[in-house]
Amino acid sequence: MRRCLPSVYKSLEREAEERNDARAAGLSKFSQNYQFVFTLHMMCDVLPHLSDLSKAMQVYQQNENIKFI
């Protein structure tokens, strides 16, 4: 999503103008909001690391459960 954000903006703006689509206009305005863009970039940067950490902790927990059995 982060890579194609400019294309998404153009597409939403075109839909809003050509078809007078209020939903596309609203999504265009919302997606260009600073908070949305910041959150999108933060999620793209942070979520892969959180996923790796979660998987590592699950493996660790499974190994600990094996020791107690």
Q: Which 3-state string (H, E, C) describes the chain?
A: CCCCHHHHHHHHHHHHHHHCCHHHHHHHHHHCCHHHHHHHHHHHHHHHHHHHHHHHHHHHHHHHHHHHC
Total structural domains in the chain? 1
Reading the block at residue 65, the tokens are: 């459960």
Confidence class for position 62, pLDDT limits 50, 70, 90:
confident
Q: So what's the pLDDT on residue 63? A: 78
Q: So what's the pLDDT on residue 39? A: 93
Average pLDDT over residues 4-28: 93
Q: How many CA atoms lie within 13 A of 10 on its CB side?
A: 4
User: 21 is in which domain, residue-wise?
Assistant: 5-68
pLDDT at residue 58 greater than cutoff 70? yes
Confidence class for position 67, pLDDT limits 50, 70, 90:
low
Q: So what's the pLDDT on residue 43? A: 92
